[in-house]
Structures are given as structure tokens and as C-alpha cells.
């Protein structure tokens, strides 16, 4: 409880939800098990999230790179997405989720993937190349304070700090 932004009740509920993702015979040792990413993605709270794969990737501590989730990873994820987590912590994780190539900056390619996640992958909802270029240009003009063509964490946090609804919309409630 001291290591998260979760209450005792929330941790107990998280444990119940986590163990339900495991086969029956593994449930009593849920704390020492890893749940495959495919099972985590069945959670209604993630199923409709356009960043579901990135969320699993960012919170997974799996050494094999399969994005499986331990109970500790699951608690970390729920803690960051809880109402009690600070805006700084939420924005730091949002940045990592949006940094598709994990290079520590949001470049044009990351921004394009971000926009595609938000607008949907279908042809009818996807922006054409001119619209995409204009939108990325606008994002960079607004956010890229040092004008290096990328958005770093502090630039991202600066933009997010001007968005009063960011912290309340960056959440998952079990």
C-alpha cells in the first residue's frame, strides 16, 4: 500500500481481478505468476483502449520481452492510472506509452503512430498525408520548445500541465 497510490481495498480487488486471469490451478500462487499479455488485454478496462499494447509493454517487467504482467506490474499499472496518482507520474507514463520506439523522445514517427491510434486504423477515419503532416507540424509548433524536431519529457509535461482534464482522463478504474 505504501508503494502505490492504491488503498488496501483497491489492492485486494486488484488481486482478485489478477488471479481471475490465471488458470484455476495457478490462482493460489497468483503473486508469483505472470499473466500473458493476451489475457491482460481481455480486461474490459483495456479492451477498448487504443494504447492497450503499449500499456502492457510499458508496465511489463518480463525479461523475455513477451509483455506478460506480474501482479507487481499490474499494481504499478493500476496505481499510475488511479485517481490518486500525481499529474507528474501520469504524464511520465503517458510519455512512455506514446514513445513507440522507446528512444526517450516523441519524434514525427511516434506522433504519426499516436494520431493513428487515436483516429482508428480504418481507411475512412485515417488522416491523409497532408492532414497528418499539418497536424504533426501544429503539435511540434505548440510543444517543441527547443525546436529540435522532437518532444522530450519536460516539453511533454509542460503541454500536459496546461490541460486541466489530463489527470482525470488518464485513468483505469476496476
Structural domain that includes position 164: 87-170
Domain match, 60 and 108 both: no
Domain match, 123 and 77 both: no
Confirm whether 104 is domain-assigned.
yes
What radius of gyration, in Å, describes the C-alpha atoms of the chain? Answer: 18
pLDDT digits (tens, 9 = 90+) for 19-71: 999 999 999 999 999 999 999 999 999 998 999 999 999 999 999 999 999 99
Confirm whether 151 is domain-assigned.
yes
Alpha carbons within 13 angstroms on the beta-carbon side of residue 141 total 6
Confirm whether 1 is domain-assigned.
no
Which of 174, 171, 20, 6 is closest to 76 using CA atoms? 6
pTM above 0.95, yes or no: no
Domain match, 59 and 99 both: no
Domain match, 33 and 58 both: yes
- Where is 35: in which H helix or E strand? strand 34-35
Distance separating alpha carbons of residues 48 and 52, to the nearest angstrom: 8
Confirm whether 3 is domain-assigned.
no
pLDDT digits (tens, 9 = 90+) for 123-148: 777 899 999 999 999 999 999 999 99
Amino acid at each position: 500500500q505504501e508503494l502505490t497510490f492504491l488503498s488496501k481495498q483497491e489492492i485486494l480487488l486488484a488481486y482478485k481481478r489478477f488471479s481471475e486471469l490465471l488458470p484455476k490451478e495457478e490462482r493460489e500462487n497468483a503473486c508469483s505468476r505472470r499473466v500473458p499479455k493476451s489475457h491482460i488485454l481481455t480486461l474490459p478496462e483495456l479492451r477498448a483502449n487504443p494504447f492497450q499494447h503499449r500499456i502492457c509493454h510499458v508496465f511489463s517487467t518480463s525479461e523475455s520481452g513477451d509483455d506478460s504482467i506480474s501482479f507487481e506490474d499490474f499494481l504499478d499499472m493500476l496505481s499510475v492510472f488511479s485517481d490518486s496518482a500525481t499529474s507528474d507520474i501520469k504524464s511520465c507514463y503517458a510519455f512512455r506509452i506514446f514513445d513507440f520506439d522507446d528512444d526517450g523522445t516523441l519524434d514525427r514517427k511516434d506522433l504519426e503512430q499516436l494520431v493513428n491510434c487515436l483516429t482508428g486504423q480504418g481507411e475512412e477515419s485515417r488522416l491523409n498525408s497532408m492532414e497528418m503532416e499539418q497536424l504533426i507540424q501544429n503539435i511540434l509548433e505548440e510543444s517543441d520548445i527547443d525546436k529540435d524536431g522532437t518532444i522530450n519529457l519536460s516539453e511533454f509535461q509542460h503541454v500536459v500541465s496546461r490541460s486541466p482534464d489530463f489527470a482525470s482522463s488518464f485513468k483505469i478504474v476496476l
